[in-house]
Amino acid sequence: MQKGSFWDGKRVLLTGGSGFLGSHLAPKLEAAGTKVMIPRSRDLDLTKWENCLKATKDVDLVIHLAGIVGGIGFNRNYPGRLFYDNAIMGIQLMEAARQNNVKKFVTAGTICAYPKFTPTPFKEDYLWKGYPEETNAPYGLAKRMLLVQSQAYRQQYGFNSIFLLPVNLYGPRDNFDDERSHVIPALIKRCFNSIKNNEPEMVCWGDGSPTREFLHADDCARAIMLAAERYNSHEPINLGTGEEISIKALVELIAKHAGYEGKIEWDTSKPNGQPRRCLDTSKAKQHFGFEAKIPFEQGLKDTIDWYRENPHK
């Protein structure tokens, strides 16, 4: 992203800036000429109202990425925390930004907000046509509420707030924590542990039939910057590639690049999650010119190579 009049000298509050996606976005913002402020949760708890007011003071633009996230297991164990923390952070931060006259507010939502049985490809118009998949509904609905708030604030106050819907992200520096990791880092770690322990088989959750779409975090960071610069509307916008892969094919691809040659077994007593995920990404291209650039297999290989060199992350 080149320096230009939109970004030069802007004061940008980037919540979640020390997290996975934030680590890809922050350097791009800095290279574009912004002053990036990254509040860390241990120093500034954004579930507290006074901290939200403090964080948004003298800021031109807020990009809200911060959230409590995890895989299926984490979602099943902590539904209350996932709903409350994600909702209260976003609601208070947006209100604080409005009170402090922030010029623009960008919220990163989640594909988990879509109904469980959304027709594919997911169109933004389908967002309200059903209840999310049960295991991640509290998280998805908390994010949906931020879309409601964003639209209500634009209508009543003329507050320039936009809402983006990134698909499942992946890439180097992803979260490989056993409890919080999503499907790609969880499977990569499982593969390497199986290799290390000489395990003849690797057990994966579900039956492998669900499909998922994945967007490289570097592509997502570029999309967020394009939207922040060019998009000013109440309608939510999907961010993705428009391509899907089955979990079974994904596991086989990860095993291939990780070098795991054992047998892959499926534990069908564990949940599959949402049956399919694939986005219609035409609006992102139409409204702010975003198209993903990183081929999935190459991005996946780069992620596996990164983990091979950083196995304790």
Q: Distance of CA 29 to CAs 4, 7, 33, 38, 225, Å?
A: 11, 8, 7, 12, 8
The answer to whether residue 293 scores a pLDDT higher than 90 is yes
Mean predicted lDDT score pLDDT of the chain: 94
Handedness of CA 211, 217, 221, 223 (dihedral sign): negative
Q: Residue 207 falls within a domain, yes or no? A: no
Q: Where are the alpha helices (DSSP H) in 169-268?
A: 183-196, 217-230, 247-258
Domain CATH for 96: 3.40.50.720
Q: Distance of CA 221 to CAs 107, 108, 203, Å?
A: 13, 11, 33
pLDDT average, residue stretch 257-286? 92
198-243 pLDDT, tens digit each: 999 999 989 999 999 999 999 999 999 999 999 999 999 999 999 9
| 162 SS3 class | strand
**Tally of domains within the chain:** 1
14-70 pLDDT, tens digit each: 999 999 999 999 999 999 999 999 998 788 999 999 999 999 999 999 999 999 888
The answer to whether residue 312 scores a pLDDT higher than 80 is no
Q: Are 164 and 150 in contact (CB under 8 A)?
A: no
Q: Residue 301 falls within a domain, yes or no? A: no
Q: Residue 2 falls within a domain, yes or no? A: no
pLDDT average, residue stretch 267-273? 88
Q: Which residues, including other chains, have CB under 8 Å from residue 286's CB and lie 6 or more apart?
A: none
Q: How far is CA 294 from the centre of its chain?
A: 17
Q: Residue 26 falls within a domain, yes or no? A: yes
Given the residues 84, 126, 131, 139, the one annotated as active site: 139
**Residue 131 appears among annotated catalytic residues:** no
Rounded distance between C-alpha atoms, residue 133 and residue 113, angstroms = 9
Lookup: tokens for 49: 């109202």
Give pLDDT, residue 43. Answer: 85
Domain that holds residue 21: 11-174+213-242+277-294
Q: Residue 66 falls within a domain, yes or no? A: yes
* Per-residue b or e along 276-300, where b marks 16 or more CB atoms closer than 10 Å to that residue's CB: bbbbbbebbeebbebebebebeebb
Q: Residue 116 falls within a domain, yes or no? A: yes
Q: Residue 48 falls within a domain, yes or no? A: yes
Q: Among candidates 115, 155, 147, 151, which has minimal Cα distance to 133?
A: 115
The answer to whether residue 4 scores a pLDDT higher than 60 is no
Q: Residue 303 falls within a domain, yes or no? A: no
100-133 pLDDT, tens digit each: 999 999 999 999 999 999 999 999 999 999 999 9
Q: What is the DSSP string of 7-51?
A: TTT-EEEEETTTSHHHHHHHHHHHHTT-EEE---TTT--TTSHHH
